[in-house]
Amino acid sequence: MLKKLLVTLVLFGSSAQAYHEFELNLNNKDLDMHLNLDMGQFNNNIEPENLMIETRLLIGSPENARLPYERDNNFLGEIGFVAQSSSAMAPGLTMGMGVKMAYTYLRGGSVFAMPLGIQSDYVLPFITFIPIHIAGVFYYAPNVLSFSDSDTYMEYQGNIDIELMERGLLTMGYRGIDSPVVQMGNAYINRSYFAGFKFKF
């Protein structure tokens, strides 16, 4: 029994270089939480950090949104996956492609879409004592991938991450989540600056 336990611990330790990630972003009005799970920690046939399951909960303020009804609850939930890898042509650059489901409730309807997107993360090569990351996200769902009251769906974000310690980063940036609906062609769920932290475990 002890031998089996030791073998299990060794196998777990061999995959410990792959990290899950928790991210918390906020400003004076909004709270944005992300939990990304590295499938390489659960399946030895998957390379570490190559396939991520990503989840998100955004609790936004009506002041940073434009929705059909003033009293709509501004909650956004997302779940999806991203396949990513480092670039051999550009050291320090990681690129990913993914798909996710996004949902938010509207009084009398909802925003529901399945956007496709790309992600990037680049570690600046000339700063070594404190690694700095430049990252971006862009997702888009045309009408054919937008359901319920959604017309289209577009999400974009740019951020700078400062790696102050191993597995711990400060982040700051700007995000936009545009969600035109049948009731309002210029609706958006959130547009705001943010700051927060990322923790890898």
Task: Please give the single-letter amino acid code of residue 95.
Answer: M
Q: Band of the pLDDT at 19, cuts 50, 70, 90?
A: confident
**What pLDDT was estimated at residue 145?**
98
**What pLDDT was estimated at residue 15?**
41
Residue 86 CA neighbour count, 13 Å, CB half: 8
Answer with the residue of higher pLDDT: 47 or 173. 173
Answer with the residue of higher pLDDT: 22 or 2. 22
Count of helices and strands (H, E) across the chain: 1, 12
**What pLDDT was estimated at residue 25?**
97
**What pLDDT was estimated at residue 116?**
98
CA distance linking residue 62 with residue 78, whole number of Å = 19
**What pLDDT was estimated at residue 10?**
38
Percent of the chain with pLDDT over 70: 89
> pLDDT digits over 61-108, tens only?
999 999 887 655 689 999 999 999 998 778 999 999 999 999 998 887
Report the chain's mean pLDDT, rounded to a whole number: 88
pLDDT higher than 60, residue 16:
no
> pLDDT digits over 114-128, tens only?
999 999 999 999 877
Of 25-34, 84-93, 186-195, the poorest mean pLDDT is in 84-93
**What pLDDT was estimated at residue 103?**
96
CA distance linking residue 43 with residue 106, whole number of Å = 38
**What pLDDT was estimated at residue 102?**
98
Compute the C-alpha angle 179/151/115, nearest 5°: 65
CA distance linking residue 83 with residue 78, whole number of Å = 17
> pLDDT digits over 30-45, tens only?
999 999 999 988 888 7
Domain 2-200 fold is Porin (2.40.160)
And the tokens for 169? 């980063």
Average pLDDT in the 156-180 region? Answer: 96
pLDDT higher than 80, residue 177:
yes
Do strands 21-26 and 31-38 pair parallel, antiparallel, or not at all (unpaired)? antiparallel
**What pLDDT was estimated at residue 53?**
97
